[in-house]
Amino acid sequence: MLWGNMRHGIFVVLIAGVAWGQPAKQWTLQELFQRNIGSREMQDTAFPPHKIAGNLYYVGTQSLASFLITTPEGHILINSDYERNVPTIRESVEKLGFKFTDIKILLGSHAHGDHMEGDALVKELTGAKVMAMAEDVPALQRIMPGGKAHPIDRTLHDGDTVALGGMTLTAHLTPGHTKGCTTWTFKVTEDNKSYDVVVIGSVGVNPGFQLVNNAQNPTIADEYKQAFKVLRSLHADIPLGSHPAMYNLDAKYPKIGKGPNPFVDPAGYKAELDIVEEVFNRTLAEQSKTTAVSPK
C-alpha cells in the first residue's frame, strides 16, 4: 500500500506493508493520531474541492474531512468540522458550483469538535436538519461553541437510513472512539457502474484514551472490538474517513483524471483497518499489562 504526503507542496511516497524486503511499518499511537489530526494550519486550510465519484464530493480541509452528496432535492453534508471551518466548507461547496444553502441534511462522524462543532452554524446558515446517533447525543449537547445549543433534529439508531433525492445512507454504530461513532455507507453511480462507499467514523485510539479500567466507560475496549467487527463486515469500493489521511487522499488526489478512479480502493480499506486495529490491540495489551493486579 502506498502512503503519500503532499504537505507544503512536497510529495513523498512511503511504503506501508512488506515491499522490497522491508518490514511493515509499525505505527505508534501518537504517530497515527498526528497523521490524522494534522497541524492547526492543516485543519484550517482548504484541500482543493473535488469530485470523488458520481454525485459525491470532497469539501473539507487538509486534515478534516467533509463530504457533499448532491441530489435534485437538495444536498447532504457529512461533517461540519470546527465552527471556524464552516466558511471554508461553504467556499469549497460554491467552488464546485453548488449552493451552500441547498444543504438539507447535516450528518456527522462522531461527537468531537473537529467533526461536529460547526453543526449549529451550518443549520443557522442553511436550515439543514441535523441528525446524530443516539449514543452521541449527550456528548454533542456539551459541544456549544459561543454558548450555542447543539441542534439535533433527528436521533438515529444503528441501521437507520437517511434518504434524500434518490440517495439512501445507512448509519452503522461503530463505537469506541465515541459512544455513538457512526460509519456511513451508501452507493454512488459513475459511468453506469455502482460503487459501495464507506465513510469510516473512526476507530483510532487517541492519546489519553483509557481502554482498561475506564470508570466513565467500562466497556470501551469491547466497543472498539465491535466496531472493527462491523467495519470488517462492510464492503468498500470507495473507502473514506473522517480524516483524509485515513484513505490516503494526498496520494490519490494527483491521480484524478489520469487513469482509473484512484478513490476506488478496496485494498486500501483493508490496509487501513489492519493498521488501526494493530495499534488498538497493542495499546490494549500494554494498558492491560500496566494495570494488571499482581497476585497476592
Examine the pLDDT at 21 and tell me if it is beyond 60: no
- Using pLDDT thresholds of 50, 70 and 90, give the confidence band for residue 19: very low
Flag the least confident range among 24-28, 127-131, 244-248: 24-28
pLDDT confidence of 126, banded at 50, 70, 90? very high
pLDDT, tens digit, 9 for 90 and up, residues 36-83 = 999 999 999 999 999 999 999 999 999 999 999 999 999 999 999 999
* Residue 23: predicted pLDDT: 60
Q: What secondary structure, in 3-state letters, does the chain show?
A: CEEEECHHHCCEEEECCCECCECCCCCCHHHHHHHHHCCHHHHHCECCCEEEECCEEECCECCCCCEEEEECCEEEEECCCCHHHHHHHHHHHHHCCCCHHHEEEEECCCCCHHHHCCHHHHHHHHCCEEEEEHHHHHHHHCCCHHHCCCCCCEEECCCCEEEECCEEEEEEECCCCCCCCEEEEEEEEECCEEEEEEEECCCCCCCCCCCCCCCCCCCHHHHHHHHHHHHHHCCCCEEEECCHHHHCHHHHHHHCCCCCCCCCCHHHHHHHHHHHHHHHHHHHHHHHHHHCCCCC
Grid coordinates given for 16:
506501508
| Domain 2-289, CATH number (from 3.30.460.20, 3.30.390.50, 3.40.50.970, 3.60.15.10) | 3.60.15.10
* Packing angle of the helix pair 119-126, 86-95 (nearest 10 deg): 50
Q: How many Å separate Cα 200 from the centre of its chain?
A: 5
Mean of per-residue pLDDT scores for the chain: 92
pTM to 2 decimals?
0.90
Judged against a pLDDT cut of 80, whether residue 2 lies above it is answered with: no
pLDDT surpasses 70 at 122: yes
What is the percentage of the chain residues whose pLDDT exceeds 90?
A: 89
Q: What is the DSSP letter of 192?
A: T
**pLDDT tens digit sequence for 229-252:** 999 999 999 999 999 999 999 999
User: Torsion over CA of 288, 111, 244 and 89, rounded to 10 degrees?
Assistant: -160
pLDDT of residue 116: 98
Q: What is the pLDDT averaged over residues 123-146?
A: 98
Average pLDDT (4-13) is 40
Q: How far apart are CA 228 and CA 271, in angstroms?
A: 13
pLDDT confidence of residue 290: 83
Assess whether pLDDT exceeds 80 at residue 281: yes
pLDDT at 225: 98
Helices (H) and strands (E) in the chain, counts: 9, 14
> pLDDT at residue 171 above 70?
yes
Q: What is the pLDDT of residue 1?
A: 35
Q: Domain ranges in the chain?
A: 2-289
Residue 256 has pLDDT above 60, yes or no: yes
User: Residue range 130-148: average pLDDT?
Assistant: 97
Q: What is the mean pLDDT of residues 89-104?
A: 98
